[in-house]
Structure 1
Amino acid sequence: MYNGRMDPTEHVSHFNQRMVVHSKSEALLCKVFLSNLGPVVMRWFDSLKEDFINSFKELTRVFRARFVTCSRVPQPLDFLLSMAMQERETLKTYSDRYWEMFNEINGDFDDVAMRTFKVGLPAKYDLRKSLTRKPVKSMCRLINRIDEYKWVNEDQ
């Protein structure tokens, strides 16, 4: 249900994924799309002039344009580069915060992310020492290594 506060592009994308088997029926797409709008958004839709929208593509274009202020803005890479583990922060909390920020950045920065995660750890951490001695070559391996250390050192 779209409430007028979420990213409209994400909403349309999720809707399209759910409706992929019905994508040939424009009328059905429009009707089902409207059934996923909350009260505030329905008031907006009801205020549109009759025959203003002629296709599902047009409906989603107008919808995105109207709710563009709710769009999520990707974060710059600088945000990731400035992250560091805080005093008394656990490894779990730091890694959760780090990956959340990583997912907000557009672009292919896996190499940078793998390096800056390590640099953000305090020098005393065994995980940092391990990543220095034996660097990982993929995000998957980094996440696996972090998970191993979370299990072994839950207090870190």
Structure 2
Amino acid sequence: MIFYRNNDNLMCKIFVTILQGEAQDWFHTLQPQSIRSFDELSLVFIKEYSFYCSIKKKFDHLSNVKKNLNESIHEYVKRFKAEKVKIFGCNDSITSAAFQKGFPADYSLFGELIMKEDLTLADSFTLVKKHAL
């Protein structure tokens, strides 16, 4: 990256390719076109992850993330992902169960999410996305 330090666009693109796991999930929660330079991206990233170093959340935190009545599915998924990245080493099956239980019981998709066995978090997100279309 040192070779490209004068090219902000390229630096941002290279930076994104090295992110993995929770950091990559966090990156995808950023609003489109909200970052204008690599310096700004660096600052936002450091601010986000220095916060997580001092305050760690546990798995049970996700059980408190519920879909609000006036919230769209897209907004709920985005908010859930933002909360998920605050937990280090998040177990997929526990995370998937918390996501599914975040829907109200009378929500049309709730039964379908609960009835499917071994549904990963990615599968749940895909199912919800298809339902939202």
TM-score bracket, normalised by the shorter chain, equals 0.5 to 0.7
Q: Scaled by the length of structure 1, what TM-score is found?
A: 0.49
% identical equivalent positions:
19
8 Å Cα contact 2:100-2:124 kept in structure 1: no
User: Does the alignment pair 1:78 with 2:60?
Assistant: yes
**2 CA distance for matches of 1:146 and 1:86?**
15
Counterpart of 2:131 in 1: which secondary structure? helix
8 Å Cα contact 1:80-1:101 kept in structure 2: yes
8 Å Cα contact 1:127-1:146 kept in structure 2: yes
8 Å Cα contact 2:62-2:84 kept in structure 1: yes
**2 CA distance for matches of 1:138 and 1:78?**
18
**2 CA distance for matches of 1:108 and 1:147?**
22
User: Does the alignment pair 1:134 with 2:113?
Assistant: no
User: Does the alignment pair 1:88 with 2:75?
Assistant: no
Instruction: Give structure 2 stretches of 5+ with no counterpart.
Output: 1-14, 19-37, 41-45
TM-aligned CA distance change 1:121 to 1:37, over 3 Å: closer
1:115 equivalent in structure 2: 97
**2 CA distance for matches of 1:143 and 1:72?**
27
Counterpart of 1:123 in 2: which secondary structure? coil
In the alignment, residue 72 of structure 1 is paired with which amino acid? F
Instruction: Give structure 1 stretches of 5+ with no counterpart.
Output: 1-13, 18-35, 39-66, 152-156
Name the Cα RMSD after superposition. Answer: 2.6
Counterpart of 2:122 in 1: which secondary structure? helix
Please point out which of 104, 126, 130 is paired with 1:144: 126
Alignment of 1:9-20 (within 5 A): 14=15
8 Å Cα contact 1:114-1:136 kept in structure 2: no
Flag the structure with larger Rg: 1
Alignment of 1:49-64 (within 5 A): none
